[in-house]
Amino acid sequence: MSKRALITGVTGQDGAYLSEFLLGKGYEVHGIVRRSSHLGVADHRLRWLGIAHRVVMHDANLSDLGSLVRVVQQVQPDEIYNLGAQSFVATSWSQALVTGNITALGVTNMLEAIRLAGSSARFYQASSSEMYGLVQHPVQSEKTPFYPRSPYAVAKLYGHWITVNYRESFGMHASSGILFNHESPLRGIEFVTRKVTDGVARIKLGLATELRLGNVDAKRDWGHARDYVRAMWLMLQQDVPDDYVVATGVTTSVREMCELAFARAGLNMSDHLVIDPDLFRPSEVDILLGDPTKARQTFGWEPKVSLEEMIFEMVDADLVRVSRFLGG
């Protein structure tokens, strides 16, 4: 009998790569998809990976407990990956309550659904390095205190602690992955790496002349989403549930990441980059640098793709995408 996984956020970047990974392991993969007038395109990432027909979709929403209970009862999953969230930090200031409802309370809804359905599924919570915010230690590990700096990060901190609390209160097999930034050609266009690689492709192909960014001095520990979904799965294969940092241990500024992208396309960054003060955030996370020692020592996880390889892959993919748009 193949194992069954249920993924919230299956239409997002990580949901797509995790589906691909689990299908490769012989899982039956189910996902929840929220109703939208764009439903026909909701699975575009799964289609890009050529796996849309292999993922079973269920109509549910993280803010609707009843819908979650019904899906858990119907699917009877062995593992549940809670990836659904309002995940864009900048939007969390303009939609603070939606962010709280989905990114924070949505986690409790999912945990309650598991209990109400009488399920013994193992649970993964998508926690975030944003919880470190105003960093309290130059290198962040599972032991570093949190100091969230956005409504998104505050919501994620709630999600993190409610997962720990349900594990300790009810003995649930619930683990939380504190994942640092991870990207790919399937990254949403609003996030800085993809905004840069798409912008570079547009400039290269004559559709634009400039790329407008905010704080290019911010530093992030960037990895590849394909590497990071493997860590999610590994966490749920452990006998004892726990929390793990997943990171590369290398930090790079937005400016340096941007230079890589322009260089890949044979362009000079200084000819095109414009700093736009309107794109600065009300409060910033200046630098993140993770220590993945615990994940390496416990289940042998290590990143395989470097930042340079990833940015080159993203630029190449965006050059193809933009030239297709131009009819090339």
Please return the burial class of 53, using the count of CB atoms within 10 Å of its CB with bins 0-12, 13-18 and 19+: exposed
Q: Select the residue interacting with ligand GDR from 129, 163, 175, 197 (CB under 6 A).
A: 129
89 near ligand NDP, judged by CB under 6 A: no
Which CB atom, from 174 or from 246, has the smaller least distance to ligand GDR? 246
Task: Give yes or no for a contact between 197 and 258, defined as CB atoms under 8 angstroms apart.
Answer: no
Contact pattern for ligand GDR over residues 241 through 280, marking x by CB under 6 A: -------------x------------------------x-
8 near ligand NDP, judged by CB under 6 A: yes
State in angstroms the smallest separation of the CB of 109 from ligand NDP.
Answer: 9
State in angstroms the smallest separation of the CB of 17 from ligand GDR.
Answer: 14
* Token pair recorded at residue 59: 């109509």
Strands across the sheet with 28-33, in order?
55-59, 28-33, 4-8, 79-82, 122-128, 174-179, 243-246
Helix residue spans in the chain (DSSP H): 13-24, 44-48, 65-75, 91-94, 96-99, 106-116, 151-170, 192-204, 225-237, 254-264, 293-299, 307-325
42 near ligand NDP, judged by CB under 6 A: yes
- Applying CB under 6 A, the span of 89-97, 181-189, 205-213, 265-273 interacting with ligand NDP comes to 181-189
Contact pattern for ligand GDR over residues 69 through 88, marking x by CB under 6 A: ------------------x-
Q: Select the residue interacting with ligand NDP from 122, 167, 182, 194 (CB under 6 A).
A: 182
State in angstroms the smallest separation of the CB of 248 from ligand NDP.
Answer: 12
181 near ligand GDR, judged by CB under 6 A: yes
Of 234, 255, 257, residue with least CA distance to 244: 234
Considering only residues 105-144, where is the footprint of ligand NDP by CB under 6 A?
126, 128
Q: Select the residue interacting with ligand NDP from 87, 109, 175, 248 (CB under 6 A).
A: 87
Distance CA 187, CA 191 (A): 7
- Applying CB under 6 A, the span of 50-58, 59-67, 294-302, 304-312 interacting with ligand NDP comes to 59-67
Q: Is the dihedral of CA 146, 152, 158, 161 positive or negative?
A: negative
Residue type, 35: R
- Applying CB under 6 A, the span of 35-43, 51-59, 112-120, 213-221 interacting with ligand GDR comes to 213-221
Of 81, 65, 85, residue with least CA distance to 73: 65
* Token pair recorded at residue 41: 């395109």
Helix residue spans in 238-275 (DSSP H): 254-264
Binding site for ligand GDR (CB under 6 A): 87, 89-90, 128-130, 180-181, 190-192, 195, 213-216, 218, 220, 254, 279, 281, 284-285
